[in-house]
Amino acid sequence: MPVRPRIRPLHHALLATGAAAALSLGMFTGTAPAAPAAASLPCDLYAAGGTPCVAAHSTTRALYGSYNGPLYQVRRASDNATRDIGVLSRGGYANAAAQDSFCAGTTCVITVIYDQSGRGNRLTQAPPGGFSGPAADGYDNLADATAAPITIGGHKAYGVYVAPGTGYRNNNTNGVAKGDQPEGMYAVLDGTHYNGGCCFDYGNAETNSRDDGNGTMEAIYFGNIKVWGYGSGNGPWIMADLENGLFSGVNQHYNANDPSISHRYLTAVVKGEPNHWAIRGGNAQSGGLSTFYSGTRPNVPGYNPMKKQGAIILGIGGDNSHGCAGTFYEGVMTSGYPSDATEGAVQVGIAAAGYGR
């Protein structure tokens, strides 16, 4: 088990305070916040906090100030040609106009979501698993590339629209936490697009696309299923998919402190380390993160220590359960357990990015 990275509290406090002050000034003057500086992009902040990104996925923007590569790839139906969609400028927003031009007069699907971390942890069409895929070959469907149009920082962009049967996966990753190693993850999602199917996840899963038992996953879940864990109200909830259970806290089923949360743009956070994990969340357009749970592993056998395997999934469960719905815009996974201060600075940067503005 690696040593937990050393945290620099003062540095985190300055990051969070400075970013918050800049955002507050924009709100006070009634002006839209300026485009975020490169140093405020999520993976730069995680690296500064000693918990670098090992996977960074987005179809809307760069997640490093230095990133100038492709965000995702689309394939058009008319001739099966593909095109990488990159950023408008280094560290900038997606070039949605390139997609619109390439897909004009036909339809397109998203075939690849590239990993900006440099580790090659890209997401592609999920293969069949314990639950077979919807296609004849068992593979999951690919997302309609135009089904989730948005604006971000005044620019047009597209999210990954997951309808039931859609899923992405990478079972051969590099640097993602295994066993009981510490990690963190966040995702920006559409808080109004969800269902009670299993399971709209983003995060760490089994490398064989099978259910390998308690504690073999650690992923963000969003939706309103109540078969396993659930929180207050009628949902949806941010929960952790730890395999053989969605957990809203230490108890196996109901945990009152995990609220229903449905911001149009939602920041969802799950992180874990030996016998400790947390759920956090907030409005991706403004404000900070709230902590809905932070404590010991669930009071059910099999989750301490964890047995994570290090695959990455999006829109499905660990065994390729694909009955869910949701929309993904961006997300990362880290090496090491991020501090709340680092996540606070990341959240300020997300709000400054201007989702929906």
Give the residue numbers annotated as catalytic, written as ranges.
Answer: 243, 319
Is the preceding peptide bond at 5 cis, omega within 30 degrees of 0? Answer: no
Distance in angstroms (rounded) separating the CA atoms of residues 200 and 76: 25
CB atoms within 10 A of CB 27: 12
Distance in angstroms (rounded) separating the CA atoms of residues 63 and 17: 20
222 DSSP β-pair partners: 238
Tell me the three-class secondary structure of the chain, residue by residue.
Answer: CCCCCCCCHHHHHHHHHHHHHHHHHHHHHCCCCCCCCHHHCHHHHHHHCCCCEEEEEECCECCCCCCCCCCEEEEECCCCCEEEECECCCCCEECHHHHHHHCCCCCEEEEEECCCCCCCCCEEECCCCCCCCCCCCCCCECCECCCCEEEECCEEEECEEECCCECEEECCCCCCCCECCCEEEEEEEECCCCCCCCCCEEEEECCCCCCCCCCCCEEEEEECCCCCCECCCCCCEEEEECCCCEECCCCCCECCCCCCCCCCEEEEEEEEECCEEEEEEEECCCCCCEEEEEECCCCCCCCCCCCECCEEEECCCCCCCCCCCEEEEEEEEECCCCCHHHHHHHHHHHHHHCECC
The answer to whether the beta carbons of residues 295 and 248 sit under 8 Å apart is no
Estimate the share of the chain in helix, then strand, then coil, as percent rounded to the nearest 5.
15, 30, 55
